[in-house]
Structure 1
Amino acid sequence: MLNRGVLNKLKDFKEDYFDPIKYKNRQKYFCIGLNKTGTTSLKRAFQDLGFKVGNQRKAERLLKDIINRNYNTFLNYCDTAEVFQDVPFSFFDIYKVLFEKYPDAKFILTIRDSPEQWVNSITKFHAKKFSNNCVATAEELKRAEYVWPGWMWEAMKYNFDVSEQDPYNRENLQERYIKYNREAKEFFSTSDHFIELNLSQKESYQKFTNFIGVDSPYLDFPWENKTENIKAK
């Protein structure tokens, strides 16, 4: 029996060398909503319908390239599957980079009911995963063992320009949420390859399946990664 290390190497080899041959020219679906807007549920919905979703951890490891605007490896990674979500696809302006290479791709912007609801969700989620308090501190994010120590801080700093003193400042995060969604909608304002979805709305799943052009045996999104389901440290 092959051990886990060997299996992981075989999986990496398949994803790096064989999947691009299979998926490079497939229709691409980019879920560009900010984290904690239902992106994990959207990912699961695609998987339930048989779509190949990109390896999220591999995408997260490209953070330094994204920060330095070295997009070649990132765009090569996008040839390995059909569907992509979360970091770095939830970063400001990344959808513009993707659109330039994949003008026929479909883009899905997930949103919450309000900016306040989103701030509450991401603040509580990160606190449960990375802190012993109700709000994570910059030092806790820098120590957090996720992808690599400090990855969480680097990602938050880059995408939301958070401060060391108050990384979850409500006013800043709400402004960034509003700005991100507004600019994405403006960018795709004349495109029929773009849709905005609030997964909590009753008709959202039907809008989703109509947009991607499939018949589904399901009636609603699976609700994955709820904050209350995440174990505290």
Structure 2
Amino acid sequence: MTSLKVIGVGLGRTGTRSLQAALEELGFGPGYDMLRAFHNTHLYHLFQKLHEDEEDNSSLLQLLHGFSSTLSYPGCLFYEQLMEWNPDAKVILTVRDSPDLWVTSAQETIFSGNKKQSWLAWKIKRFIFSYMMASYVYWVMKIMVVVHGVDPNDPKTDLAQMYTDWNNRVIETVPAEKLLIFNVKEGWKPLCDFLGVPVPDTPFPRVNTEEQWKRRVGAKVSTNLRRAGLKLLLFVGFMSCILFFLFLKI
């Protein structure tokens, strides 16, 4: 089974990356989150299995093998299963000051397709984000739809309601003594008190701001677009050579 000590159940853009950095500094690492998958695109096969067969636990076990904590997607989507496997694990629900603040951040980053726009613009964004970024993103989004009951990137989806419903679900299903509702703005003390560890002398981490996220994703998209352009250029060149030799034979 897994060996998780901390299960993060907060949605993306609630300070999960900052919490992960804090947990690793406190000795609860390594932590798994979407950024780990971002640099290991072969893991999309596991995401695909998770989506296609929810009863197949092997893929989830492979995904989290060797990690002491999990944050954000995709782990939060399976928190109830993870709690069964790790009955002594602590559960942390990261939150923002308000649903509206979370929506603003999510629409600028992970759920940018949710903004009001034309149907065509939405489809183009979905293609770029799901296919040009990496295949695992496509499968994670499919799992999100199954778990949340709505597509977070659909402009028709009420993200504030989705956020509220998710938090309420967690609060209702996780025993109060195992759950910390945590805003990263609170800093070290509530987190360390909950985990039973000393408070570090270092500042609480602040990681993955909207600006940092956009720079990182923008660089990834640019790289993938350049690769796609090179492949297209090579293909066109190859086909041109074939047509040229065929023309010489005629």
CA contact (8 A) 1:141 1:152 kept: no
Report what 1:154 is aligned to.
142
Cα shift readout 1:151-194 (whole Å, capped 9, x = no counterpart): 46535534444459x7144x621111111100100112x34221
Q: How does 1:203-218 map to 2 (within 5 A)?
A: 204-218=187-201
Cα shift readout 1:80-115 (whole Å, capped 9, x = no counterpart): 121111211232xx1111111111111111011111
2:66 matched to 1:80? yes
Question: Per residue, is there more helix in 1 or in 2?
Answer: 2
2:73 matched to 1:96? no
Q: How does 1:24-43 map to 2 (within 5 A)?
A: 25=3, 28-43=5-20
Report what 2:173 is aligned to.
187
Q: Which has the larger radius of gyration?
A: 2
CA contact (8 A) 1:35 1:90 kept: no
CA contact (8 A) 1:107 1:195 kept: yes
Q: Which runs of 5+ in 1 are unaligned?
A: 1-19
Which SS does the other structure have where 2:7 is aligned? strand
Report what 2:210 is aligned to.
227
- Once the two structures are TM-superposed, the CA of residue 50 in structure 1 deviates from its matched residue by 3.4
Identical counterparts, % of pairs: 25
Query: What amino acid sits opposite 1:184 in the alignment?
Result: V
- Once the two structures are TM-superposed, the CA of residue 47 in structure 1 deviates from its matched residue by 1.9
Moved over 6 A (4+): 133-136
Q: Specify whether residues 126 and 88 from structure 1 end up closer, same or farther in structure 2 by C-alpha distance, changes over 3 A only.
A: closer
Cα shift readout 1:23-65 (whole Å, capped 9, x = no counterpart): x55x511111000000000011112233322453169633223
Q: How many residues align?
A: 201
Q: Which runs of 5+ in 2 are unaligned?
A: 219-250
Give me the TM-score of the superposition, normalised by structure 1: 0.72
Q: Specify whether residues 143 and 205 from structure 1 end up closer, same or farther in structure 2 by C-alpha distance, changes over 3 A only.
A: same
How large is the Cα RMSD of the aligned pairs? 3.2
Report what 2:225 is aligned to.
none
2:90 matched to 1:106? yes
CA contact (8 A) 1:138 1:167 kept: no
Query: What amino acid sits opposite 2:179 in the alignment?
Result: F
The match for 1:47 among 13, 17, 24 is 24
